[in-house]
Amino acid sequence: MDFSLTEDQVAIRDMARKFAAERVAPFADEWDEKAFLPRDLIREMGELGFFGCLIPEEYGGTDTGFLAMCLLVEEIGKASSSVRGAFNMQSSGTAYNICKNGSQQQKENYIPDLISGERLGCFAITEPDAGSDVFAMKLQAKKDGDSYVLNGTKTWISYATVADVAIVYGYTDPTSRTKGMSAFIVDMDLPGISTSILHKFGSNAFPTGEIIFDNVRIPENAILGKPGDGARILFSSLPDTRLNCGAGSVGLAQACLEASIQYCNQRVQFGSPISQFQMNQAIIADMAVEIEAARLLVYRAASQKDQGNKGNVLECSYAKYFAANTAVKAANLAMEIHGAYGYSPEYPIGRYLRDAKFYQIVEGSSNIHRLIIGMDQLGIRKANR
């Protein structure tokens, strides 16, 4: 196994690291406090090619692959978990999904605008009574002449209130659980669509909201794939967006480690820097080892995809589950190292802790990943397709 990055991948990582340090990190606390989405920055990230890694050049992408994307996501996620979210909204959950499943017209119409950051995207799966239990969703898309008419409510949708385009999942045939679900590309300015913001405990510069579809008429060619393809499209897209969450978690955990090292070296107690105390050395060691393990799980899942193994649901779950837990542990340990200063808004540790919890909830809660992994290991249901 070769763990080294190519020259191009190192250049991408270094470019993202510099961008994140200069353009994201200094403002991340303020954006979080004000729940401010840095819209212009997302356009700029698009122009720099940040969202194009999975997209062929003919649609404006860079075709640099999953590992390159994870390196970008990790660096941006280290500076701000909220800004990190744009990678899923502009690319993995939307543009890349359209790239895999869309018609020629859909690809031309949506992909370049999404990855350039010109139009904002979102994907709408979750409903008030359908979170972990995806198939409990109720949104209906009824065929009416050459249109579909959508009725239903989506909730906890990232970018709901700002998106120009949404990938919406619902039933075209509610009598058939897996074969009755379909996916649609919906322009969010259509009559009958209304959105409202939901307030969160963290990741506040990554807006989340509810979307109500009230007799929303969309043309029949807005369907992604064919009627009944929705479950396949949804469950083959989730591992991609989960991997991004894994990479973001690694970035956040790394931010916790770096802040803790800096603090340990500067804070003097009992006559010496607190880095001299073995309990703190143990904490730093534990953080460093776990972060490296999480990073390797993320890189391995990304490399597998780059080598053509795109159905690696299991390895994406390993990566997302372990990395999210690592982020939470790292944030808790960073709080322990920083003491009262960690609890103060003067330092970003409180934001790290709030954002880390987000990663254990979204894109399949930690227990959903344990379920996917446990059932696979026990031979009940293989995860990889």
Which residues contact ligand GRA (rule: CB under 6 A)?
A: 85, 88, 125-126, 132, 134-135, 158, 178, 231-232, 235-236, 238, 241, 244-245, 313, 362-364, 368, 371-372, 385
Strand 147-158 vs strand 140-144: parallel, antiparallel, or unpaired?
A: antiparallel
| Rounded Cα gap, residues 363 and 324, in angstroms | 11
- Nearest approach, Cβ of residue 44 and ligand GRA (Å): 20
Secondary structure in 3-state letters for 228-291? CCHHHHHHHHHHHHHHHHHHHHHHHHHHHHHHHHHHHHHCEECCEEHHHCHHHHHHHHHHHHHH
Least gap, CB of 236 to ligand GRA (angstroms)? 4
d(CA 273, CA 266): 6
Nearest to ligand GRA of 37, 337 (CB atom): 37
Q: Which is nearer to ligand GRA, 164 or 292 (CB)?
A: 164
- Closer residue to ligand GRA (CB): 248 or 342: 248
Query: What is the closest distance, in whole angstroms, from the C-beta atom of residue 135 to ligand GRA in the complex?
Result: 5
| Separation of alpha carbons 117 and 121, rounded Å | 9
Question: Please, which residues have CB within 8 angstroms of residue 200's CB and are 6 or more apart in sequence?
Answer: 208, 358
217 or 232: CB nearest ligand GRA: 232
Residue 141 CB, nearest approach to ligand GRA (Å):
18
Secondary structure of residue 107 in the 3-state scheme: helix
223-224/165-171 β-pairing: unpaired
Output 25 or 371, the one with its CB closest to ligand GRA.
371
CB nearer ligand GRA, residue 52 or residue 342? 52
Considering beta carbons, is residue 140 or 236 the nearer one to ligand GRA?
236
For residue 198, the cross-strand partners are: 208
Q: Cα(277)–Cα(274) distance, rounded to whole angstroms?
A: 6
Helix (H, G, I), strand (E, B) or coil at 357: helix
Task: Output b/e per residue, 89-126; b: 16+ Cβ within 10 A.
Answer: bbbbbbbbbbbbbbeeebbebbbbbbbbbebbbbbbbb
We find the least distance from the C-beta atom of residue 64 to ligand GRA, in angstroms, to be: 20
Catalytic: which of 74, 127, 210, 363?
A: 363
For residue 363, indicate whether it is catalytic. Answer: yes
Task: Say if CB 165 and CB 175 are below 8 A apart.
Answer: no
Write down the least CB distance from residue 176 to ligand GRA, Å.
11
Q: Residue ranges of the alpha helices (H) in the chain?
A: 7-19, 28-34, 39-47, 66-79, 81-84, 86-87, 95-101, 104-115, 230-266, 278-306, 313-338, 349-361, 366-377
Q: How far is the CB of 57 from ligand GRA (least distance, A)?
A: 25
Secondary structure class of 316 (helix, strand, coil): helix
Give which of 156, 183, 155, 157 is closest to 170, Cα–Cα.
183
Please list the active-site residues.
Answer: 363
